[in-house]
Structure formats: C-alpha cells, structure tokens
Amino acid sequence: MSGKIAVLPGDGIGPEVTDAAVRVLQKAGEVFGLDLEFEQFEFGGAAIDAYGEPYPEVTRRGVAAADAVLLGAIGGPKWDSVDRSIRPETGLLALRKDQQLFANLRPARVTPGLEDLSPLKPEIARGVDVLIVRELTGGIYFGQPRGMSEAEAWNTMRYSRPEVERVARVAFDAAAKRRGKLTSVEKANVLEVGEFWRRTVEEVARDWPQVKLEHQYVDAMTMHLITHPADFDVVVTSNIFGDILSDLASVLPGSLGLLPSASLGEGTPLFEPVHGSAPDIAGKGVANPTAAILSAAMLATYALERPEVGAAIEKAVTETLKTTRTPDLGGSASTASFTEAVISALAG
C-alpha cells in the first residue's frame, strides 16, 4: 500500500503537532509495511508570509496530487489585520471547496482513565466514543433563496437526494468500520426536509444490512448526548444540526487537545485537529499532539483504507495517556516526549 501525504503544518502550534503526527505515521508505516511519502507545503499565515496568499498555487497542486492532506492549524494575531480576502481561514475554505469535501467527521472519545476531565459524571462519561458525521456543503447555510430586508430575513434549508445519499454513505461506511450502529438526526416531525432526509437515509440503509440504523429528532438528541452519550456510535446529520451537535460532543472528552477531525468528499481528504493554532503556547514544546496524532489515525482508516493501522495508533495513544500527559492534561510531558512514548507503544 502506498500513500502520498501532503503535510500542511500551518501556524502557531501547527508545525509542532504535525511533526508529531508525521513521526507516528512513519513508525506505523514501518510496523505495518506501508509505503508512505510525505511532502510539506506552506498554508495559512505561513503561506501569506511566503507568497502573499494563504493557499498558493504550489500548495493547491500538492493537495490535488496527494492521497490525503494532514493539516496542523492556521491563523494567529499576526494575520488578524490582513485583508479579509487573504485571511488564513480563507485558505481552508478554498481547500474544502476545491476538493469538494462534503462530509465532516468529528469523533469525541473519552479516553479510558481520563473520565474525570469530562464535565459529565465519570459514570456517564465512561465508554463515550461517538463520531458525528456532519453534512458540510449544503443545507440552510447555503440554500437559496436567502436574504434580509428592513422587515424580515429568510434562509432556506434544502437538500437534494444525491447530497443526502453521499453523506449517508460516508456515515454507513464509518459505522461498518466501527461498532455497526448509525443514528440519523433531523426534525422530521416539523420539517419536510427532515422527512426527506429520513426517507433517503432509509433507502441508503438497504446497502448496509450489517449496520443498525435508528432515527432521532435533533432536540431529543441534544438531551441523549448529555444523559447517555456512551450509547451512540456514528451520528449523521445536516450541516446546521451537525455544527451544533459536534460542538456539544466536543466538550465530552474534556480537552481541546484530544479532538481529531476528517473532511471527506470527492477530492483529496483532509485530516486536522479541531483545535486552533494556540499562539499562547506556540514554540514552547508543550502543545498536546494527541489531536494531530489521532487525525493521522483517521487518515490511516479513511484515506489509506487501513482501519487496523488507525486502531493501532489509537490504542498506542490510549496506552500512553495512562502514564504520560502534557500540561493541558495536568502532566509535565513535552510534545516530543509524549510523541516518543506513543512511538514506543506502537512499536510494541
């Protein structure tokens, strides 16, 4: 198996955590016999400094030619005053659009032994391992017509059959690679678009007999994610509901430094930590690389189609966190020493 990975370290702690993730992937490559090739490109603020724009042509070409993108983080106070059209975040929006990344995957897992970091009671937080699959390019954020006058304002929540089908397929595929359960979330009791979403997901379900499908209304789902979050495996939902539910789920593990993400679609898939560039701790060697390393695990599962490699990286991180923690988790390990510990755990 070979894989060409475009590495976009970005800004702030981005380069430190990306370096950690690359080193773990290289080790996983050795252990599992993967033929991985890494090429680094400027992106975000670093690219504004070097090329005057956040997503220069050379990076665009590198992304298009790769099998996966591993991104660190972008932005920081240095670029807050640059023109809106060339802000670091504009580069990320352009990359997602270019590659037509329509599904955003955000897992929230409470690491065994770290239950007391969660804002929930440990007995409720124990065993939480939920993956929110959010439709990313359609729905009410993009629907037409939209507008505002002195007297009123309006937006349109609209989904076509192919838009629902393709994100549902990503979610069923993820559920099949995990514990085989999928919860589809909408508001079918009030909205036609919700009823349409539910019916379309049910049609797609026929191709995935091994996955158990259930439906929830979004209002009920917010309660379930607080009262019994460990019951859920994969959750698929529309853009706006996914925006809200993934933020809700992201507080369950108790630290920003633990949360990875993947964006999948037509083109090159993108893997990145949920956290930002954390300028306050950049360059100090204390950033928690867990989110970036777990993003690399998702890359192995979803881009290289090697779920056993992803699971091995996840297991190495879980083992390491039992004894070794960076300052954000109350420990004193550096980024480098934590990464070394993960690499040793992976080597077995």
Using the structure block, give the residue that is written with the tokens 């480098």. 336
Tell me, yes or no, if 49 is annotated catalytic.
Answer: no
From the candidates 247, 284, 315, 322, give the one annotated as an active-site residue. 247
Which two three-digit tokens encode residue 109? 């897992």
Name the minimum Å distance from CB 320 to ligand ATP: 15
Which secondary structure element, helix H or strand E, spans residue 214, and what is its range? Answer: strand 212-217
Contact 347, 31 (CB under 8 A): yes
- Residues counted in the chain: 348
From the candidates 27, 129, 187, 233, give the one annotated as an active-site residue. 187
Nearest CB to ligand ATP, comparing residues 45 and 269: 45
From the candidates 11, 19, 243, 328, give the one annotated as an active-site residue. 243
Strands 181-186 and 234-237: parallel
Tell me, yes or no, if 247 is annotated catalytic.
Answer: yes
Q: Which one of residues 9, 194, 257, 260 is an interface residue with ligand ATP (CB under 6 A)?
A: 257
Nearest CB to ligand ATP, comparing residues 188 and 282: 282
Q: Coil, strand or helix: which one is 58?
A: helix
Alpha-helix runs per DSSP H in the chain = 14-32, 45-51, 57-65, 88-98, 122-125, 161-177, 192-205, 218-227, 239-250, 290-298, 307-323, 335-347
Which two three-digit tokens encode residue 71? 């991104």
Does 276 engage in binding with ligand ATP (CB under 6 A)? yes
Nearest CB to ligand ATP, comparing residues 173 and 340: 340
Does 278 engage in binding with ligand ATP (CB under 6 A)? yes
Does 281 engage in binding with ligand ATP (CB under 6 A)? yes
Angstrom distance (rounded) from CA 275 to CA 192: 35
Tell me, yes or no, if 219 is annotated catalytic.
Answer: yes
Return the half-sphere exposure (C-beta side, CA atoms, 13 A cut-off) of residue 198: 16
Name the minimum Å distance from CB 256 to ligand ATP: 4
Angstrom distance (rounded) from CA 203 to CA 256: 36
Nearest CB to ligand ATP, comparing residues 188 and 281: 281
Name the minimum Å distance from CB 145 to ligand ATP: 31
Measured in whole angstroms, the distance separating CA 96 from the mean position of its chain's CA atoms is 13
Tell me, yes or no, if 141 is annotated catalytic.
Answer: yes
Which two three-digit tokens encode residue 106? 């955000």
- Rule CB under 6 A: which of 66-95 touch ligand ATP? 75
Name the minimum Å distance from CB 292 to ligand ATP: 7
Name the residues annotated as catalytic: 141, 187, 219, 243, 247
Q: Which residues bind ligand ATP (CB under 6 A)?
A: 13, 17, 75, 256-257, 275-278, 280-281, 287-288, 291, 328
